[in-house]
Structure 1
Amino acid sequence: MRKVKGFFKKYRGMMPVFFLMLLSPALMATLQKTKDAYGLTHEIDTGKKVYQERCLICHGVEGNGKGPVDVVRRAEKTGRIIEIYSRDFTVGVFKFRSTPTGCLPTDDDILGTIADGIERSFMPSHKEVLSSEEREAVKEYIKAFSFRWEEEDPCDAITVKKPEGVDSPAFAEKGKMVYKEMKCWECHGYQGVGDGPKADDLKDDWGKQIRPFDFTTGALKRGSSPENVYITFTTGLDGTGMPAYEDSPSEEDRWHLVAYTLKLMKLKGRAE
């Protein structure tokens, strides 16, 4: 007993240090949780603020695509009227992805769409008006609208490696054959102008009528670099009638198809 008392008497001045040493793991864990909670709360608040200021008008308060401006109409040179509907984030189905059909997009896919916008769709670029922190925050806010982000594992992005010769007439000529064999003409027409025999019957997953792309009008919404066209053919456009061709035709023939459609778009050799 004397030894115990002697120990406390001898090291009495060190007791606060011993106490902090015992407490520090729990203290650090609490501080980290507080920091994490603050960081998460700050990100959610920032994402909500950005969404309300820049996204709500089209995508709606609940992210279901029913904002005050939920559909816009665009006239093409041919006189065809295209109706463009705002994305419904609640179902977690995205057209523009680097992942296989049926998969969620990667974070980079979403950030790319936010930053670059979607050509020909009235979805503007936010690269110059939002900071990287704000784009990250609104990306997380958008993901919160759908249960899929909590219940599904992410898919890997598809690797894209452009072969030499995509700009060559030989590639385009082979692509013309693939276009015919894969029956692309049934929707897009024999000349690629979107007037195929099935063109008037296409509907998206929400039952809204959609029009097949007229290649002769120029760039795709996703962008028309060879790589972007290839990934569109490979992943498909989920929620629409455009299927994925990851399994068929072969990778080589998909690049042939890229060459032919770029020729139809008169974008052969265009740099982006």
Structure 2
Amino acid sequence: MRLSPRFSLVVAAGLAAWLGACQLDKDQKPARPVIHYSLSAATTAAGEDGEPVIPADVQTNIAGSLAMLFGTPENPQFQLLPEWKDEGFNPNWPAYPVGEDGSGEVDLGSLEADNRLYWRRQIAAIEAGQWARVFVQDFTPDLREKWNELCAQTPEEARGEDFKKAAVELFVGYYPRLSASAELYRQHCLHCHGAEGGGDGPTAPFLNPRPRDYRHGTFKFTAVGKSVPRRVDLYRILDEGVTGTSMPSFRRFSQAQLHGLVDYVRLLSMRGMVERSLVGTYVEEEMLTSADVADAYQTVWEKWNKANEKALVFEGEVPLPTPETIAHGRELFMDAKAGNCFSCHGAEGRGDGASAFALDPETGEIKPTYKDDWGNEILPRNLRLGIFRGGRRPIDLYRRIKNGIAGGPMPEAASTLSSDDIWHLVHYVGAISERPQHAPKAASHGDAHGDAPASGDGHGTEKH
């Protein structure tokens, strides 16, 4: 079909006008939504009379207290307690030692070695004097700001060895500010986990299982049972992801960036825990004081500071799997007075146990029996698939059986089974898995338990 010249002219003019309207000025940036922290739905809920259970003025008080303790999405920070200042303890800077305005939680030597590898192209460009090739990503805005400041102080023709040394040290010693980690979270985590870490981001309704809600301080796959996690537990989840879920591995980022995300996830989790504590105090006492706020903050921090003490570490000799230990594991699996695993996981371990499902009397449909702590339906793991979200190593399975899984119906077996019995169950579960179980050769105690300091780079070299 041929178009008339007049019609073609009209179309061309309209298209030009449309393109002109859509074109942004080269200096104009797209609108950036401002993110605010909000109180949880439980805190703002209304009672049967339609009035908020927590009065509006108390909600305002709680929100203000949380802002004082944890800052805002644009400027997140942990408020320092007076005794922390005296000790030189500052959780906002984990890479610095205690006594030097840090918390000493991150191995600085490992961090610098990884930074040197992660930023190797930028460092090579600096050493070669090729300044235009020193590219700093958007998700490290504080590093980019420092690099720009350094360049602004010295013109290109005056950039000698001293400048190069300072520039290399800038990249090698990089550790993100909490605001930079919040920006990284915004770009890569918020769409699932939400602004406050409530597991309620815009993509969350479409995911199964639902993203983790940090605000309770409950994390399922750790080495500490029902306690709050250690830093290494959170780091491992970010580094490895969670098999069988939408939680990916973020190994493409540097150790510093991953530790920065750990810092920010902990901040969101502590913020939620303090909020719940303050709400509980008000419900019980019908008032809130500044002392209540300080006590809640300190109590929550004490829990996180003691997380390492709660870790389940097996000190004995791990028994090797044999036909006898596997057979005994099967017996425990099927014994209602011992492991009782079959009641949920089924006699063949396919996640179809009788207690895991029930008939809905209204619809006549068979539905899952169990829900997690957030009210989401949850199914027992199909052990035959060999997909274990908390890790496939023997120590991972040992911890899941002995401690249970926080936030879900998986019970702990510590009170009913001996350590040998638990290892026999581990061997049985490994034997029925369709995938070969990962059983590394004897290694250092830390490596065998996944507790060694985060090392390996994930940037082109082998990582175990």
After TM superposition, the score normalised by the length of structure 2 is 0.46
Match 1:254 to one of 422, 425, 428: 422
Superposed, 1:45-194 pairs within 5 Å as 45-72=179-206, 83-99=208-224, 101-127=225-251, 129-147=252-270, 148=273, 149-152=300-303, 153-155=305-307, 156=309, 157-161=311-315, 163=317, 165-181=319-335, 182-194=339-351
Alpha-carbon deviation of 1:248? 2.6
Overall identity of the aligned pairs, in %: 28
SS in 1 for 2:398: helix
Q: Given the superposition, is the C-alpha separation of residues 119 and 69 from structure 1 closer, same or farther in structure 2, using an over 3 Å criterion?
A: same
Q: Distance in 1 between matches of 2:406 and 2:438?
A: 27
Residue in structure 1 matched with residue 178 of structure 2 by the alignment: 44
Q: Given the superposition, is the C-alpha separation of residues 42 and 117 from structure 1 closer, same or farther in structure 2, using an over 3 Å criterion?
A: closer
SS in 2 for 1:146: helix
Q: Any idea what the Cα deviations from partners look like across 1:224-252, whole Å, max 9, x if unmatched?
A: 12121111112211000001223331111
Residue in structure 1 matched with residue 457 of structure 2 by the alignment: none
The answer to whether the 8 A contact 1:58-1:65 is kept is yes
Residue in structure 2 matched with residue 202 of structure 1 by the alignment: 370
Instruction: Give the counterpart letter for 2:369 in structure 1.
Output: D
Give the paired residue count.
229
The answer to whether the 8 A contact 1:72-1:84 is kept is no
Q: Any idea what the Cα deviations from partners look like across 1:123-145, whole Å, max 9, x if unmatched?
A: 11112x21111111110111111
SS in 2 for 1:84: coil
Show structure 2 runs of 5+ residues with no match: 1-85, 91-99, 103-141, 143-172, 274-299, 357-367, 441-464
The answer to whether the 8 A contact 2:226-2:405 is kept is no
After TM superposition, the score normalised by the length of structure 1 is 0.76
Instruction: Give the counterpart letter for 1:54 in structure 2.
Output: H
The answer to whether the 8 A contact 1:166-1:256 is kept is no
Q: Distance in 2 between matches of 1:259 and 1:95?
A: 22
Q: Distance in 2 between matches of 1:132 and 1:66?
A: 27
Residue in structure 2 matched with residue 230 of structure 1 by the alignment: 398
Show structure 1 runs of 5+ residues with no match: 1-28, 74-82
Alpha-carbon deviation of 1:58? 0.6
SS in 1 for 2:421: helix
SS in 2 for 1:58: helix
Question: Post-superposition, which runs of at least 4 consecutive aligned residues in structure 1 deviate over 6 A?
Answer: none
The answer to whether the 8 A contact 1:57-1:69 is kept is yes
Instruction: Give the counterpart letter for 1:190 in structure 2.
Output: A
Instruction: Give the counterpart letter for 1:141 in structure 2.
Output: Y
Q: Distance in 2 between matches of 1:108 and 1:261?
A: 26
Residue in structure 1 matched with residue 17 of structure 2 by the alignment: none
The answer to whether the 8 A contact 2:197-2:215 is kept is yes
Instruction: Give the counterpart letter for 2:346 in structure 1.
Output: G
Residue in structure 1 matched with residue 47 of structure 2 by the alignment: none
Alpha-carbon deviation of 1:211? 0.5
Q: Distance in 1 between matches of 2:353 and 2:215?
A: 32
Cα RMSD after superposing both structures: 2.6
Whether 2:409 is the aligned partner of 1:241: answer yes
Q: Distance in 1 between matches of 2:191 and 2:429?
A: 34
